[in-house]
Structure 1
Amino acid sequence: MISDTLNTATHRLNATRTPYAIATVIRTVGATAAKPGARALILADGTISEGWIGGGCVRGAVARAAQSALAEGTPRLISIQPDEDLTAQGLTPGEHHQGRDIARNGCPSKGAMEIFVEPVLPRPELVILGASPVALALATLAQPFGFDITTPDTQPDSGPLPAANHARMVVIATQGAGDLDALRTALASDADYIGFVASRRKFTTLAARLDATPETLARVHSPAGLAINAVTPEEIALSILAQIVQHRRQGQRQT
């Protein structure tokens, strides 16, 4: 029953593009309330929404791990142990040791357990405003790259974009068909990236008609795309997609 309820909840969260984490007990030693295989669904604020992995002795540690996992986009492994075990190993609650987040079990049971916390994040959204050849080429080219591709309307005055709780990239490829309205829509959104398919001169002219600060206008990449001497719509789409990937992955690679 718990599994069915948890599955239903995950389907609902996935449908609404809401981030969450799944915590799974993978190992226990001694007396513990939850056993290996126990699972729980944890929301972004640390609330356990469905399932069960133990009482108050573990919930705080799991909530903190879930929030960190969601913020960083990487799984966490928690090792919850009683004081005497931590002391014997020279470990301190809160430290990260050998790939594990160390936490204290203050319950009388004195059991130990390890819990794997996996974040489940919505796929990044690519919003393409416009129906130009570049817009169509970009929508096709981006499909294998893990984006949820959104084209709200072929008309650039389709209104504000809904609030996002996930990464969102907006590309304006209206190419003369309502550029100003599309720019207003993009700048009013919480987009992580905004690209405008137009010359720098054209953007400067349009920017003078926008009631926006220099800091706001600086969010726009114009002309959109990396400088690869692109000419055809497909080549321009490739340069834009490359810039989006560069922006999305910036700071993630480790040397």
Structure 2
Amino acid sequence: MKPSHSLNLPQRDHEDLHDLMSRLRRAGEPFSLATVVRTISVTAAKAGAKAVIRADGSIAGGWIGGGCARGAVLKASREALADGETRLISIQPEDLLKDRGVSAGEEKDGIRFASNMCPSQGTMDIFVEPVLPRPSLVILGASPVAIALADLGPRVGFDVTVCAPSEDQEAFAAANERIEGYALPVEATAHRYLVVATQGRGDQAALKAAVSVGAEHVAFVGSHRKAESLRAKLLTEGIDPAALDRVKAPAGLDLGAITPEEIALSILAEILRIRRKDQRGTNETVYV
């Protein structure tokens, strides 16, 4: 039977979903977008139908059909948000799966198959796309290297948060978020990479704040000897040695950098290598 390609969604629904996704993006909330890309025979939803799915598995808006598709799509959404990869789900009747030589839950040629147990016995192919908050570059300090990092970070896909004394805040007018002092939130909605770039002004307080929160990477702009001296002081304050072991010092790849801009570039190169380590060869994740 000829596949159906009818959008079957009024324009208003599309506009409402766009508004919803914009709100979730602004809130830094991860979600996935499920889109019906093909249907064969009788199905409740038709090609073009969409749904926005939150990380907790709830459907925030839109519609892609009833229980025949829901379980497989929600599972794919959870997996996509966990690893940042897209999924293509094909929901088919049992007899068609047998004809293809595949079983429900099996993945073949990039397609995850699921069984349609509904009376309609139609086929639906659904593309599930994770939409994740942009990774965060958190800069502690207002040194020339910190200023260069804040300038370069957005160009390679990072939202920038700057933690600095109130008198230095004007140097970071373009930052996505500014925090006076070093009061970092313990939890973060996106992956964050911390760089202590105080360079002699509040080193100990900034490093203590950096190792007290969760992060993908913590780096210190300064020599290994200076970092070890600060480590010894923080140990006397009761800081967990394992937390201090996470600190990379000196920050950045060894590129022979001299100027603040070159040092900032070496730091971002190191962070990008860490961030992309497990993403090569995978489908590209959408960041918002």
Deviation by residue 1:169-190 (Cα, 9 ceiling, x = unmatched): 1111001111111112111221
Q: CA deviation at 1:249?
A: 1.2
Residues 1:188 and 2:212 are matched in the alignment: yes
Aligned ranges for residues 1-255 of structure 1 at < 5 Å?
1-154=12-165, 157-161=181-185, 163-210=187-234, 211-254=238-281
Deviations for 1:211-241, whole angstroms, at most 9, x for unmatched residues?
A: 2233211111111111122222122112111
The residue identity in structure 2 corresponding to 1:61 is A
Instruction: Provide the rounded CA distance (Å) in 2 between the counterparts of 1:60 and 1:102.
Output: 12
Q: Distance in 2 between matches of 1:218 and 1:162?
A: 18
Q: Secondary structure at the match of 1:171?
A: strand
Aligned-pair CA distance for 1:146: 0.6
- Any stretches of 5+ residues in structure 2 without a counterpart? 1-11, 167-179, 283-288
Q: Give the secondary structure class of the aligned counterpart of 1:94.
A: coil
The alignment partner of 2:36 has SS state of strand
Taking the aligned partners of 2:165 and 2:116, their CA distance within structure 1 comes to 56
| Structure 1 stretches lacking a partner, 5+ long | none
- Paired residues of 1:170 and 1:195 also in contact (CA < 8 A): yes
**Contact preservation (8 Å) 1:126, 1:147:** yes
Change beyond 3 A, Cα 1:241–1:212: same
Asked if 2 retains the 8 angstrom alpha-carbon contact of 1:22 and 1:39, the reply is yes
Question: 1:157–1:181: 8 Å Cα contact kept in structure 2?
Answer: no
Give 3-state SS (helix, strand or coil) of 2:21's partner: helix
Counterpart Cα distance in 2 of 1:158 and 1:144: 24
Q: Distance in 2 between matches of 1:83 and 1:133?
A: 63
Q: CA deviation at 1:70?
A: 1.4
Rounded to whole Å, the distance in 2 between the matches of 1:164 and 1:209 is 27
Say whether the 8 Å CA contact 1:121–1:166 is kept in structure 2.
Answer: yes
Q: How far off is 1:152 after superposition?
A: 3.5
Counterpart amino acid of 1:214? P
Residues in 2 aligned to 1:144 and 1:167: alpha-carbon distance in whole angstroms: 17
Residues 133-184 of structure 1 show CA distances to partners (whole Å, capped at 9, x for unaligned) of: 1111122222310111111434573312352121101111001111111112
* RMSD of aligned Cα (Å): 1.6
What is the alpha-carbon distance in structure 1 between the residues aligned to residue 243 and residue 89 of structure 2?
41
- The separation in 2 between residues aligned to 1:185 and 1:138, in whole angstroms, is 19
TM-score after normalising by structure 2:
0.84
**2:128 & 2:83 partners in 1: Cα distance?**
12
Q: Which moved more, 1:241-250 or 1:228-237?
A: 228-237
Return the letter of the residue paired with 1:161: P
Where 2:239 maps in the other structure, the secondary structure is coil
Identity %: 51
Which residue identity lines up with residue 84 of structure 1 in the other structure? D
Moved over 6 A (4+): none
Is the Cα–Cα contact under 8 Å of residues 22 and 119 in structure 1 kept in the other structure?
yes
Residue 169 of structure 2: aligned partner: none
User: Following TM superposition, by how much is the alpha carbon of 1:254 offset from its aligned partner in structure 2, in angstroms?
Assistant: 4.5
Larger deviation, residues 203-212 vs 36-45 = 203-212
